[in-house]
Amino acid sequence: MNLATPLRAAWLALTLSTAASLNAAEPALTPVADPAPLLADLRRKMSTLTTVYLEFDQERHLALFSEPLKSSGVMVIDRPDLIRWETTTPYQSILLGNRKSVAQFEQVDGQWKKLKLGFPQMLKRVMEQMSLMHQGKLDALTADFTLSVATGRVAVVTMVPKDKDVRSMLASLEIKMEPDFSATREVVMNEPNGDKTRILFRREKRGVKLPAGTFDQTKPLDVAAIQAIANEGK
């Protein structure tokens, strides 16, 4: 079973909410025998976050294609439980969520169309995990994933789902961060069939005062307005 776009985006957003990303050939990474102190440090940093704005480039590596499928977009998180994941090129799609509900929009003929989601319960569960982790409650993460940590020029957190049904879709998640957890570099999502999704970051801004409508699940604000606020003061 392949991951559908909304669920894949939600899982990627889930990993991002833990940090504030790994090239396949990162040198000299040392496994950490007891990751508890590092995770405690990550928890402390997360608990101080309010809003996070990220711009990303995504690469979808599929065995059927010699070149990756590329897209780019914006992700926004607002404490305690608001998430917006938006693809801006080569197509336009918005995934919005909180602990209670999720919504997806796609642009058709220049108009936003709200879609019916095929697996809302799974999406709601992922969004709930994101909300709890963004508040620094990492027990939500360790309850559903087995974690390992390696350090070096980057800090790498590898997450393996405990639930076998989830593992049938998602083999593991790799989160690559600055060694002090101050910023996310890259996330890699590995699927059981060998396919993977890589997401790399061009910009991260914290403490952005987001405009009204950013997370509206009926009529979401245009992303250009969000980007204008995030880029003020550059």
Collapse the DSSP code of 192 into the 3-class scheme (helix H, G, I; strand E, B; otherwise coil) and give the result: coil
Q: What is the pLDDT of residues 87-114, one digit of tens each?
A: 999 999 998 988 778 888 999 888 999 9
Q: What is the pLDDT of residue 120?
A: 56
Domains of the chain by residue range: 5-206
The two tokens of residue 178 are: 């600055």
pTM score of the predicted model:
0.77
* 5-206: CATH topology: outer membrane lipoprotein receptor (LolB), chain A (2.50.20)
The contacts of residue 102 (CB under 8 Å, 6+ apart) are: 6, 10, 95, 96, 117, 120, 123, 124, 127, 217
- Phi (first) and psi of residue 184, to 5 degrees: -90, 135
Q: Average pLDDT of the chain?
A: 80
- Sort 77 into a burial class: Cβ within 10 Å, 0-12 / 13-18 / 19+: buried
- Sort 131 into a burial class: Cβ within 10 Å, 0-12 / 13-18 / 19+: buried
232 band by pLDDT with thresholds 50, 70 and 90: confident
Collapse the DSSP code of 33 into the 3-class scheme (helix H, G, I; strand E, B; otherwise coil) and give the result: coil
